[in-house]
Structure 1
């Protein structure tokens, strides 16, 4: 009897597992978790790395040393009585003069010189600007490596399916997280960041391709990708405050050890439910060259690039700009990205279905315009509260573009090519990576040469200029229309040739 019950129980369990493996919703959950953890690792380092590297290079400098008041130098001059003032600005000017003015007893005039405290402030400002370059290059390394891996991973999914690259992405991410936890030098952390790029390529391309295959209906696909991008957004949301708070109160290794444990759980879920194995595609996939030569796919991909370039430039430069201009501590540097992350989560879930209804081209056009406006508002901030509205608007608008253009790429492949999605989402991920490669790599040099403000004004103008191109995606021609157009052109050429021959006769 017991044996029979065990057999029945085993049969039911196998049946349940089989139903779970065939469930589209479970696949959606696995992809969303993979994107969440990948982007948690991506953004957890944002508040940690700049200050950690600064501490490595300036081990003898305490964070409060620069801003601590210095006792005034002894002087034999008679004290100067300042007129009382109710103005905060006048009081600040008076404090500045008190801190930076040396009174000579042998002269009638006041000689203004830099105090040691001000000299330290200026040296720290210079060091922070230099730090922006190094941090920007490290942050960009992940996107550059991902950029190189995507054209390999995309066609590979056509040959072996999506599950093996997906599981490979988990393994690489797990290793990268452990290196981040125990790395103590710029070179080791740079390696960890670059290695993450390979894992991200495997997870992103495979995950999006898997969703596009499981959700063939365009409307359902848009909703599913909006939810998956919500997982991405949640990772971006949790990452910076999680990293900043853990680094402040526990230590540098703690957040990465927690992430490695979560990644291990995701890997076990993939192993159990997806059962990684080789799955070959039935239909012939479109070539990567054919997709790259499609102008409509390039326009959609370009929107993803420009939408994400602004926030990518802010990741290495905004924390350092806040340290420099606001004296912001670690937790403030992490929390400053919180409004953008929350609004990105709202934007992706809202415009997954809404973009299909109102027109994805229109949602992307409006998103690019809002991004430009918010980028121009950020340098006007004078404290962390002033950053809330522009950062929230920036995240919401990026969510509008991403949740509209990711399903649009699958739709363009459906109507203009063959419904095999690995390569087109490799292009979409390349577009995403271009923004996160060019942005951090250039931000340090641009901050150093033209300043933080003009850097953001420049990328805002680029978003304004690109936005009108979205109108071309309003009604892209289908494969049949394209074929008819080509045949029509050939017929016209034949007719003109025939008429010329008749005229010659």
Structure 2
């Protein structure tokens, strides 16, 4: 994302950039979380079957990946403000279409619009921080912004369940539309001009070429897929209320948030292979437990373990991918997070597709076992070639 001759800030301060970027990422994942307990239970989706439900959930991430590739060019030409506004329009359209409740093809259009909005907003938000924040403070600001993603995922499912219980299935999306209006006002008012990145001169491919990066990408894919894989199939399997389903997913994300700082505290001292390997074992075990559960407490235990596994997989990977950016030629921080976002979106797409088709072919318990096996295989491949330590010498020659 480079235009070296352009002014670095365009009138937008680092504080404003952080607020706008954090709000954009939070809103996107809030809408994503709101959809989790609602979409699989809509009549149009139930009638389409488990495989179609998996496709519906995966389409968000697929559209996000495509939009991410184009968003970089838009940012290069016009700065982050334009894709932020494009993302706002797509998000508003998606929430209103979701509120209609169907038919299936219209929900698919809404999901694709949501993915395009997410791809535009994620890239623009992170580039806005990179364009306005000095390199020495940029990592901290990126961490704050990325933490709002987890917050949005945490709040979305239980809030959706509560709204559905009291106001009907359209209410979560109407609420999301109201949040988008506030978010949009912040994007319009606080982002002045079109600031552009001036010192991140490489993209995600440069980071991917650094030895060890592909293994980190696999770990991120598995970390994103473990939770997204149960999103389209667990609500239908449990036949529980939207509030109960929302609380279950909220429990998983709460476990992840609790585990994140614990893992983060020791990530510099403990081998990434140990953390990621433990995450792979925990994720596979959690999926098997959820698939075999007969009681709600067993499902709850599996969801807690699933959330913890996500932290074990993603927290070390976030730190590792930023270091890989410093080792690329030329060095890049923006390229690191672009690669991370693409890997994360890949997991969000792959998880629902895998479980949706597996449930339709073999049933819920067998599908969870299949998912556990596939993700464990990918995770083992990642662990085998991960850097042994964060303290390995850096050689950019």
Provide the residue aligned with 2:21 in structure 1.
31
Q: Hey, what's the Cα distance between the residues in 1 that align with 2:312 and 2:188?
A: 33
Distance 1:368 1:358, change over 3 A: same
- Taking the TM superposition and a 5 Å limit, the aligned residue runs for 1:365-380 are 365-380=277-292
Q: 1:305 to 1:183 in 2, by over 3 A?
A: same
Q: C-alpha distance in 2, partners of 1:150/1:55? A: 27
Distance 1:372 1:479, change over 3 A: same
**CA gap 1:32/1:470 in 2 versus in 1, 3 angstroms:** farther
Q: How does 1:280-295 map to 2 (within 5 A)?
A: 280-283=196-199, 285-295=201-211
Instruction: Measure, in 1, the Cα distance between the counterparts of 2:247 and 2:394.
Output: 45
Q: Secondary structure at the match of 1:182?
A: coil
The one of 135, 157, 182 aligned to 2:100:
182
* CA RMSD between the two structures: 2.9
For 2:160, the equivalent position in structure 1 comes to 243
- Confirm or deny that 1:465 pairs with 2:380: yes
Whose radius of gyration is greater, 1 or 2? 1
Structural mapping, 1:82-481, within 5 Å:
131-211=49-129, 214=133, 216-217=135-136, 221=139, 224-275=141-192, 277-283=193-199, 285-323=201-239, 328-356=240-268, 358=270, 360=272, 362-461=274-373, 462-463=375-376, 464-466=379-381, 468-469=383-384, 471-472=386-387, 474=389, 478-480=394-396
Question: 1:416–1:478: 8 Å Cα contact kept in structure 2?
Answer: no
Once the two structures are superposed, residues 120-166 of structure 1 have per-residue CA deviations (whole angstroms, 9 ceiling, x without a partner) of xxxxxxxxxx6211211111111111122222223543444434323
Counterpart-to-counterpart distance in 1, 2:81 and 2:217: 25
1:48 corresponds to 2:38: yes
* Cα distance in structure 2, aligned partners of 1:282 and 1:36: 26
Tell me the CA shift for residue 209 of structure 1. Answer: 3.9
Alpha carbons of structure 1 residues 349 and 179: separation in structure 2 relative to 1, 3 Å? farther
- Higher RCO (CA-CA < 8 Å; seq separation 6+): 2
1: CA distance, partners of 2:254 / 2:156: 12
Contact kept in structure 1, 2:272 and 2:386, CA below 8 Å: no
TM-score between the two structures when normalised by the length of structure 1: 0.68
Q: SS state of the match for residue 336, structure 1?
A: helix
> Could you tell me how far apart the structure 1 residues matched to 2:358 and 2:251 are?
25
Work out the CA distance in 2 between the residues paired with 1:367 and 1:205: 27
With structure 2 as the length reference, what TM-score do the two structures score? 0.85
Corresponding residue for 1:123? none
